[in-house]
Structure formats: C-alpha cells, structure tokens
Chain A
Amino acid sequence: MEFRPILSALMRSKVAMILIGLQVALTLAIVCNALFIIGQRLDHMARPSGVDEQNTFWFGSNGFGQGYNAKVVQQSDVALLRQLPGVADAAPTNSVPMSDGGWSTGLMLQPHQKKSTADSAIYLVDDHAISTFGLKLVAGRNFKPEEIKSLDFGDRLLPQVAIITKAVADKMFPDGNAVGKQVYFDLDPPTTTIIGVVERMQQPWMSSETVENSTLVPAFMPYGNSTRYLIRADPGKRDELMKLVEQKLTEANPSRIIGKMHSIADVRNDAYAEDRAMAIILGVVIFCLLTITALGIVGMASFWVAQRTRQIGTRRALGATKFDILRYFQTENFIITTLGLIGGGILAYAFSLYLMSAYQAPRLPWYYVPVGFVCLWLLGQLAVLGPALRASRVPPAVATRSV
C-alpha cells in the first residue's frame, strides 16, 4: 500500500498533523463522556413512578381564621370530590411521588435497632389511595375504612397496619411473604402489621438511593390547617376537572385558599428538569463539537489540496488515476484520525477517572470508546471527501504550468 509515502509526507508537516490529531483526540474524549452522561440521565428519567401519571393531579387547601377545623373540612372535601362528575377516585395524601417534599422514616425489625432496616417514604392516605394513585396490589389486601386513624400533626406515628412497596418488602423480608409480618416504626412497641404489598410506588425524592421504598399509612392527619388531595380523573377529563374542583371546593368553604392544581405529568416534568437540561446542554455541545471538528478537517484538507496542486498534477501526469489521488487524501485523513483517536481513547478514560474521583460518577463503559472510534473515522472520511474529490479533479496539465 501507499502508507509509507503518505506517512513520510505527513512527517514533513508535523504541526498540522498534530493539530488535527489533537482536535480529534479531545473530541473523542469529550463526546464519549458526554454521551455516557446523557445516557445515564435518560435512564434516570425513564424510571417508572408506579402511579397513573396521565389522569391524576394533586393540590393543597389552606384554611385560615379561627374556627377552621381542617379535620372536618378534610372529611367533607373527600366526600364532595368523590361524587363530582369526571372523578374516577380521590384520596387525601401528604405527598406524591416525584414532588420533592414529603416525610420519610426508618423501619426496623427489632426494638432499639442501631440502624433501621429500610428507609421509607411515608404516604398518609386512606382506603382510596391504591385506586386513586393507580397502584398495583400484588399481595395482601387494601385498608378497610375503619382502619384509617384520625391524628393531629405532631402525634407519634404508630399505625396498626401499613401497606409497603415490593422494594421495602424485599429489603425487610428477603424470604418473601411480607404480609402478616410485624415492623417497628419507633424504638419500642407497638408494632405495625404489614397487610399488603404494592408493586411499585416511588418516593418524592428523585435523587434517593432507595427511590422505590415507600409505605402507605392509613391516617387522616392535616398539617396544621393544610390538607392535600390527589384526584384521578376519568380518561381525558383531567384538565377540565381541575377547574371544576377548584370552583367547587372554594364554594364549599370560602375561608381557605385552594392551591395550584399540579398534574402528576407536570410533577414529573419538574422533577427531571435538571436531568433534561443537562442532557440537552451536553447534546448541543456534542453537536457543535462534531461540527467544528468536521469543519476543521475540511479547512485543513482544502488548504493541503491547494498547497499541493502542482504535486497532484505531477502525479496525475506520471500516471496516477483520479481514484489514486482520492485514495491518497482519504488514507492520509485515516492515518491522522487514527493517531488522534488512540490519544483520545486514553484521554477519554482519563476524563472518566477524573469524573469518578471528583463527582462519584460511574466508570465509562469500555464500549463507548470503540464506538466513538468508528463514528469519528466516518466523520473524518466524510469531511475529507469534498477536498479529496476536488484534488482528484486537478488536471495533469497543472504540472506543466508555472505558478
């Protein structure tokens, strides 16, 4: 092959080669790590919450003035909401998955355990919660209406029964059969009996390491004068129902403020806003980077073609075909790119190591770099194609002309 003459020609313009190589190397290192981060963010965003996100929304009610009794209002609100047209079901709750605010506690298997067995989010709900959230009960049973306790905020939470997610059940009872088992909410008895297991329900906090550890506790427990409700609308009725709910509840009791209606779809959007922003920003940088690198290769190749017009003419006059000239420039680019990619591969792992030590990021999987090699080889070959074709069209007669 003609590797050797190309290589010796390259060695005569080392700087240009180093510049293109360096650019390719940095591009590979950045693109691999950025793509990996984007992939992680997309995985993070794709996690299911376990609830019906399409048809549900939630909102708060804040009473004011003396004589406002949040517990009484809560009972009448729930009754009113459940009979509104378009409401599939409604339940009081202190929080919803992905909302970034809520209550968590450690569940234990023994009294006075030094470390809790499972940290779990606590959802204070009634017997309509499973149906309203759209949860899937995989074992045991739902709450009964008489099991819902009326508590004041600040009372210790010592429920007689609770429903846990499969994640909590697996953590606390790895042998299975969580239903009927006892857990400790506090250091001392009384204990709580697990009566049911739902397949999945995320915590409010998306950065939690145990994001599927949630527990449903049967309690009516307003936070001062404030109560919150979740509503599942009949399919397609969600947005019109939001307006109706606000109007009806304000009419039912005017000495309160009905807060903004949040669809759970919006809650998800907000919860992942930072991940989405990061993915978009990195995506834009990758696009610009590849464009700049490709244009840089086009620019340098054009310059080389212009500089070597006479030599190309001479080669053509001495019998080289158009294809030979084309292949010369394509091969030249391949050599430079490959050298850059080798350096870039090492740099990519170095960047990854830095991100691991400074930001506890996971290790860059090995296959990103080979895939990056192939992509940048293709990019280089495509970028150089234009100038190389121009070079191949240089007529042999150029060799005989003086400058």
Chain B
Amino acid sequence: MFSYYIQLGLRSLRRNPVLTALMVLGIGLGIAASMTTLTVMHLMGSDPIPWKSDKLHAVQLDNWDVNNPYYDDGRPPDQVTYRDAQALMAAGKADKQAAMWKIALPIQPENPEVKPFNSLGRVTYSDFFSMFEPPFAYGGPWDHKQDAEHARVIVLTKDTNEKLFGGQNSVGKSVRMNGVDYTVLGVLGNWKLRARYYDLTNGAFADPEEFFMPFTTAIDLKQRGSGNNSCWKSPADGWDAYLDSDCIWMQMWVQLDSPERLAEYKSFLDNYVNEQKKLGRFPRPLNNRLLDVNAWMKDQRVVSRDVEVQTGLGFAFLAVCLVNTIGLLLAKFTRKAGEVGLRRALGASRREVFMQFLVESGVVGLSGGLVGLLLTGLGLLAVRALYSSYKSVATLDLSMVLTTIALAVISAVLAGLYPTWRACRVQPAAQLKV
C-alpha cells in the first residue's frame, strides 16, 4: 500500500506542475540555505579529537598587568611566557605535556631545481605527537632524550616531504634550514585538521605547519616566533631578557587522563603561581584555567559570530519556506476534496486517506530534499569561493547528505500535517452531490 501511495504522490506531483514546482523549489531553497550554513558551523565547531578531547587541556595562567586584564572580560591570556612554559615542562606533573610555538625558517633544498622557500613550523616537545596523534607515514617522532639533548632533528609533513623528496621515505636524510642541517626522523601521513585547535592565535583556519622541530633546539636559534607575541611591559634589550620577560608567545597543552589528575594538576598550577607571586610576578588575582579542547574552541570563538548569524538566518529562511509549503499543500489538498470524497465513499478509512496524503507530502519533501542537496552543494562551493580559508569546513559528508534528505522529508511531512488533517475531514456526501 505504501508503494502505491508513493506512486499516487508522484503522479500528483505531475498533475499540477506549477504548484509542485513552487513547493519543491521552496523546500529546496530552505533546505539549501539551512544546510549550507549548518554544515559550515557544524564542521567548524566539531570535536577534532573526540576520543580524548576531554583529556587534553590548554593551560592558561594570568601573568598580566594588574591594572588592565588581557581580555576586557577578565579571562586569562591565551598564551604563556617562555619562563612558565619552561617551568611547567621541567616539573612534568601532567600525564603528558607539550609547550609549543610557531616559527618561520627558510628551507634550502639539496635539489638545485627546487628554489629555497620559506616554511612555517611548529616547535614543540616529543609528547606533542602522542597527545595530538598525527599519523606517521614514515619513521616517528623524536623522544624525551632528544628533547633534552637539543637534537637537530625534524619531522616533516606530507606536503613538505613531497616538495623536498618527491614523497619518498626520507627518514635519515637531512634538511638544511637557515644554514643548519637537521636529520629527518619522521614524515607525517595525511593529517587534515579542520581547526588548528592547539594554536588558535592566528585564526583556526590559518595555513598548516610544514615541519615540527624540538623546542629546545629551536630556542638555541635565538629566533623570535612568527605567531602572536604580547607584552604588557617592554622587556629589556636582548634575547635573554626576552626569554625572562612576561611576554606571552607560547601555547601550553597538557594531557590529564582522569578527573582526579585534572584536580591534582589544577592545584599544582595554583601552587606554582602562588610561588611566583612571592617572586613579584603574577600581580593579578589567581586566575588559572585548564579548558578541554571543546571548551577551549568555544572560548576562542572558533565558530565565528558571522557563521552563527548566518546559520540562524538559514533556519529562519527554512521556516518561511515551510509556512509557504503549508499554504500551498492546503491549496493542493483542498482541490482534491472530490477525490477524497470518492475514496471515502468507496470504503477508505480516514486513517488510510491520512496516510495517503502524508506520503504525498513526504514525496514533495523528498523531491525538495534532492533539489536542496544539489543547491547545498552549490552553496558550499559559493562559501569556499567567498571564504578562501574555509575549504576544510565547506564540504558535504555522508552524514550531512543524509541529514539534508531527512530534514527535507521531516519538514515536508510536518508541513503536511495540518493540510492532511483538513483533507481527511471531508464529508463524502458533500462531495458526491452534483
């Protein structure tokens, strides 16, 4: 019976092509607007590492100016100083820990056909790789010993290895950067992060890093980072004074495997800051935070306000389209009063008529969903053209395709409820009189 109703629905679509086109187009546009914006918002804000996002925590310490908080609302700074990063790494109180920052270094390829190029790298500790779990294609990360030894080693990303070594296994080869040779220990596989959540200071969708290098090794280069640097009082002249200053330019992450460990680490941090206060640092009230990945992304507004407003607007637009569909379905079903009367007179129950018209609404929804899917695809292409950095978040995956179709069918069936109910109340007798 269900397939018969679907056939009836399809036939009814053809009977009144203008009205049908209006409804299908209406649902399609509404679905496309809401799904395009929802996809972008969903992918932007989605958990990048769901299996352990509650264990990874960004460390925030408030070493800022006593008179002027870092953020107007009093939240602690988003980065830490070299001094504090160094002290927390040395203490090693978390299950895993990695301080990090961003550096730009020129790479001088051995291959004379590849021109020297500038590359962005992440300077960090060996725990970074087991905390954030990038996949390795060849080799692996450096270890704690190499951290301590300031080893001249490097991990390349897939693209950089492609550029320098044609994608071959380059483990053991060396890469010259700014006149210094580094040995390749590992090459990453495909690591596509939507938001670079561990360092949001230059935007979540900034260019990815091209290599990874030990923190200790990079500090020896005495070269400033290429991310954000903020100071609330100017440091004295020179590199050592800079390292010793209250300027913030590093991100600090810790892995804490249980809530008890989290509580322990929090009290360790509070003790650390209280000790520092005795040395005359940290003039502001105690304001340490350990946000996990999702809370951190929310705090740093990875999903921009514009995207939220656009999503709200997309759904408001869908609401208008649905109101429109209700009206049009009402018109369509009212016209079919005679047909309903006939079916009822021939013995169909109200239930059966109700089912038939509901299926018909569903068929309209399904068609609208297919049109909407096509338009969503176009919409996402448009988003990618408009926002060059949103390439990774403006893509349709299977779950979003299914959501689109489901949303369309559900909306159309909901929109069809009232018109269907009205259609069922038709009195057979009133329709059969001539």
Which residues does A use to contact B, with CB under 8 Å?
Answer: 15-16, 19-20, 22-23, 26-27, 29-30, 34, 37, 62-66, 114-115, 152-157, 186-187, 223-226, 256-257, 259, 273-274, 276-278, 280-282, 285, 288-289, 292-293, 295-296, 299-300, 302-303, 306-307, 355, 359, 402-403
From A152, A156, A280, A299, B331 is in contact (CB under 8 Å) with A299
B338 to A: closest C-beta gap in Å: 9
Find out whether the CB atom of A277 lies under 8 angstroms from the CB atom of B387: yes
Name 9 A/B residue pairs within 8 A (Cβ), A-sorted. A19-B330, A62-B106, A114-B67, A115-B67, A224-B224, A257-B116, A278-B306, A292-B30, A359-B308
B68 within 8 A of A: yes
**With A259-B118, A292-B26, A359-B309 known to touch, is A154 a contact of B238 (CB < 8 Å)?**
yes
Find out whether the CB atom of A26 lies under 8 angstroms from the CB atom of B320: yes
Which residues does B use to contact A, with CB under 8 Å?
Answer: 19, 22, 25-26, 29-30, 33, 67-68, 104, 106, 108, 115-118, 177-179, 223-224, 233-239, 241-242, 304-306, 308-310, 313-314, 316-317, 319-321, 323-324, 326-328, 330-331, 334-335, 383, 386-388, 418, 434
Find out whether the CB atom of A299 lies under 8 angstroms from the CB atom of B22: yes
Find out whether the CB atom of B306 lies under 8 angstroms from the CB atom of A296: no
Chain A residues with CB under 8 Å of B327's CB are 16, 19-20, 23, 296, 299-300
A352 to B: closest C-beta gap in Å: 12
A273 vs B388: C-alpha distance in the bound complex, in angstroms?
9
Name which of A156, A282, A299, A359 has the most chain B CB atoms within 10 A of its CB.
Answer: A299
**With A187-B233, A257-B117 known to touch, is A292 a contact of B324 (CB < 8 Å)?**
yes
Chain B residues with CB under 8 Å of A355's CB are 309
Chain B, residue nearest A67 (CB): B179
**With A34-B313, A299-B331 known to touch, is A273 a contact of B116 (CB < 8 Å)?**
no
Chain B, residue nearest A277 (CB): B386
> Is the contact region of chain B dominated by helix, strand, or loop, or is it mixed?
helix
Q: How many A-B residue pairs have CB under 8 A?
A: 146
Chain A, residue nearest B115 (CB): A257
Chain A residues with CB under 8 Å of B326's CB are 19
Chain A residues with CB under 8 Å of B242's CB are 154
> Is the contact region of chain A dominated by helix, strand, or loop, or is it mixed?
helix
A153 vs B237: C-alpha distance in the bound complex, in angstroms?
9
Chain B residues with CB under 8 Å of A259's CB are 118
Find out whether the CB atom of B67 lies under 8 angstroms from the CB atom of A65: no
Chain A residues with CB under 8 Å of B177's CB are 64
A75 vs B262: C-alpha distance in the bound complex, in angstroms?
54
A280 vs B68: C-alpha distance in the bound complex, in angstroms?
38
A30 vs B306: C-alpha distance in the bound complex, in angstroms?
15
A355 vs B308: C-alpha distance in the bound complex, in angstroms?
11
Chain A residues with CB under 8 Å of B316's CB are 26, 29-30
A150 to B: closest C-beta gap in Å: 14
Chain A, residue nearest B178 (CB): A64
**With A154-B242, A156-B234, A274-B387 known to touch, is A30 a contact of B22 (CB < 8 Å)?**
no
Find out whether the CB atom of B317 lies under 8 angstroms from the CB atom of A285: yes
Find out whether the CB atom of A300 lies under 8 angstroms from the CB atom of B306: no
A293 to B: closest C-beta gap in Å: 7
Chain B residues with CB under 8 Å of A289's CB are 317, 320
A139 vs B185: C-alpha distance in the bound complex, in angstroms?
59
Given contact pairs A154-B224, A154-B242, enumerate 17 new A-B contacts (beta carbons under 8 Å).
A19-B323, A23-B324, A30-B313, A30-B317, A37-B309, A64-B179, A152-B237, A154-B239, A155-B237, A156-B236, A274-B387, A278-B306, A285-B33, A288-B33, A292-B320, A293-B320, A295-B324
